[in-house]
């Protein structure tokens, strides 16, 4: 016999999307239950994104979960694009009326939101298994799952699928309704965390004949770096020495810019894909974040898009519960997909401009990329377009 629990919104997944949604709903006295199949330790140590858009930080500050990001986050007002041995600064804030990015590890945001959730005393279940979504076409959907060896039924009015690319929610939409758009890129990224002071105050995106490289950071003592690799590479093909050697070559500047090395404390390979599943809602089920879309990380958008989804979904659910109005909820997928595709395009644009494509045998694409880069660094209009996308587009929410 399963144990039954009743709530207003059942949230599958305790990543940035699920946790932020639960937080925003609780602030409006809307109850939720959050289930997560990994352990708390796992989700708080998973190294992923590092760049927060202005809108993400503003939301955290405005809703009372921004104290630590304001204290510890590193505000950046520009990025560098480096190619042919020269660095070109894109003055993000000058070009966007003062908007900026903040460097703050995704796992730090997850820790902040878990703390906030636990303070509410409302359910946040880790290490849940066998989750299954039912009844999304009815008035009484439910999520079945197993927790501590016991079967549970979470009866809710709405279900939020925030369980990422490999979750169960997307597949819970009727197959005949689902339309998927996907591009897999012919490369991946080797990502490292190195215990060494960053070699640059700002992020450096490097285009090089050997492939793309990115210099980022987490704290004044911790560097985050990426190097383009073959999509089928495994991490044991990338010993530390090879990673540093490729980074030195791809960032090299005749003026002798120095890349500092240090102990690598984490390394992993991230595949590259663009992915959108439409629609993002059906019946009582709403998808948010990676459950609905994936962008190549070149534009630093994945996490921020997830937060933008749940900001809209939370406001739409508040409208429904507080005023009995469903108009905002009914338009959720349409509104979000308009923003998602703008961000998909920007991420695709950054990715195809900055990576070497293995099939570019005659060098035609390389010449196009160099032409694009030279135009970019010589045009205020082109830089403004990059800047307003990078700091985050200002999108209208539910009316």
Omega before residue 73 within 30° of 0, cis: no
Task: Give 175's contacts (C-beta < 8 A, 6+ positions apart).
Answer: none
Which of ligand PHB, ligand FAS, none sits in contact with 224, Cβ below 5 to 8 A by type? Answer: ligand PHB
Instruction: List, as own/partner pairs, every contact residues 91-96 make where C-beta atoms lie below 8 angstroms and the sequence separation is at least 24, other chains included.
Output: 91/383, 91/387, 92/387, 92/390, 92/391, 93/391, 95/380, 95/383, 95/384, 95/387, 95/388, 96/384, 96/387, 96/388, 96/391
Residue 43 engages ligand FAS in binding (rule: CB under 6 A): yes
Instruction: Tell me if residue 88 is catalytic.
Output: no
Site for ligand FAS in 99-128 (CB under 6 A): 106, 128
Minimum CB distance to ligand FAS, residue 304 (Å)? 6
Minimum CB distance to ligand PHB, residue 200 (Å)? 12
Size of the site for ligand FAS (CB under 6 A): 33
Q: Which of 9, 10, 11, 15 binds ligand FAS (CB under 6 A)?
A: 15
Q: Which of 10, 81, 287, 303 binds ligand FAS (CB under 6 A)?
A: 303
DSSP 167: S
Residue 232 phi, psi (nearest 5): -95, 0
Residue 14 engages ligand FAS in binding (rule: CB under 6 A): yes
Cα–chain center distance at 184? 17
Q: Is the dihedral of CA 32, 35, 36, 39 positive or negative?
A: positive
Cβ(129)–Cβ(37) under 8 Å?
yes
- Please identify the residue of the shown chain whose CB is closest to the bound ligand PHB: 50
Residues forming the site for ligand PHB (CB under 6 A) = 49-51, 203, 214, 216, 224, 297-300
**Tokens at residue 25, please?**
């709903």
Instruction: Tell me if residue 390 is catalytic.
Output: yes
Closest to ligand FAS by CB, 273 or 366: 273
Residue 49 engages ligand FAS in binding (rule: CB under 6 A): yes
Minimum CB distance to ligand PHB, residue 244 (Å)? 18
Instruction: Tell me if residue 185 is catalytic.
Output: no
The DSSP secondary structure of 55-121, one letter per residue, reads HHHHHHHHTT--HHHHHH-EEES-EEEEETTEEEEE-HHHHTTT--EEE--HHHHHHHHHHHHHHHT
Minimum CB distance to ligand FAS, residue 228 (Å)? 14
Nearest-CA neighbor of 298 among 389, 396, 177?
Answer: 389
User: Catalytic residue among 104, 226, 332, 390, which?
Assistant: 390
Closest to ligand FAS by CB, 38 or 342: 38
Nearest-CA neighbor of 218 among 200, 190, 198?
Answer: 198
Closest to ligand PHB by CB, 4 or 265: 265
Residue 329 engages ligand FAS in binding (rule: CB under 6 A): no
10 Å Cβ neighbour count for 274? 18
Site string for ligand FAS, 142-181 (x = CB under 6 A): --------------------xxx-xxx-------------
Residue 131 engages ligand FAS in binding (rule: CB under 6 A): yes
Cα–chain center distance at 48? 8
Closest to ligand FAS by CB, 30 or 340: 340
Give bridge partners of residue 122 from the DSSP assignment: none
Residues that bind ligand FAS (CB under 6 A): 12-18, 35-38, 43, 48-50, 106, 128, 131, 162-164, 166-168, 270, 289-290, 297, 300-303, 306
The catalytic residues are 76, 205, 297, 301, 390
């Amino acid at each position: 016999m399963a144990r039954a629990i009743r709530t207003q919104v059942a949230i599958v997944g305790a990543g940035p999307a699920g946790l932020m949604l639960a937080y925003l709903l609780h602030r409006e006295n809307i109850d939720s239950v959050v289930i997560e199949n990994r352990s708390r330790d796992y989700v708080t140590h998973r190294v992923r994104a590092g760049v927060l858009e202005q809108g993400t930080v503003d939301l955290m500050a405005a809703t009372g979960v921004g104290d630590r990001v304001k204290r510890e986050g590193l505000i950046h007002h520009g990025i560098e694009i480096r190619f042919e041995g020269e660095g070109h600064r894109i003055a993000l804030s000058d070009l966007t009326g003062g908007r900026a990015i903040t460097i703050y590890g995704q796992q730090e945001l997850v820790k902040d939101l878990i703390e906030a959730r636990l303070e509410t005393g409302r359910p946040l279940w880790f290490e849940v298994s066998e989750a299954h979504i039912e009844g999304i076409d009815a008035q009484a959907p439910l999520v079945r799952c197993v927790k501590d060896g016991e079967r549970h039924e979470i009866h809710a009015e709405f279900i939020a699928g925030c369980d990422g690319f490999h979750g169960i929610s997307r597949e819970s939409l009727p197959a005949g309704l689902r339309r998927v758009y996907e591009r897999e890129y012919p490369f991946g990224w080797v990502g490292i965390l190195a215990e060494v002071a960053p070699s640059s105050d700002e992020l450096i995106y490097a285009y090089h004949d050997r492939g793309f490289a990115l210099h980022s950071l987490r704290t004044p003592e911790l560097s985050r770096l990426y190097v383009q690799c073959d999509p089928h590479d495994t991490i044991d093909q990338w010993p530390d020495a090879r990673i540093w050697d490729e980074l030195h070559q791809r960032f090299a500047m005749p003026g002798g810019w120095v890349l500092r090395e240090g102990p690598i404390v984490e390394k992993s390979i991230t595949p590259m894909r663009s992915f959108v599943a439409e629609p993002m809602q059906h019946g009582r089920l709403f998808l948010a974040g990676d459950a609905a879309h994936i962008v190549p990380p070149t534009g630093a958008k994945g996490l921020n898009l997830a937060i933008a989804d749940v900001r809209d979904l939370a406001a739409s659910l508040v409208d429904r519960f507080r005023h009995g109005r469903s108009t905002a909820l009914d338009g959720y997928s349409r509104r979000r997909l308009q923003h998602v595709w703008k961000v998909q395009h920007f991420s695709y644009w950054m990715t195809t401009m900055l990576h070497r494509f293995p099939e570019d045998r005659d060098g035609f694409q390389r010449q196009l990329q160099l032409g694009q880069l030279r135009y970019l660094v010589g045009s205020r209009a082109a830089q403004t377009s990059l800047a307003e996308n990078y700091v985050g587009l200002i999108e209208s929410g539910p009316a």
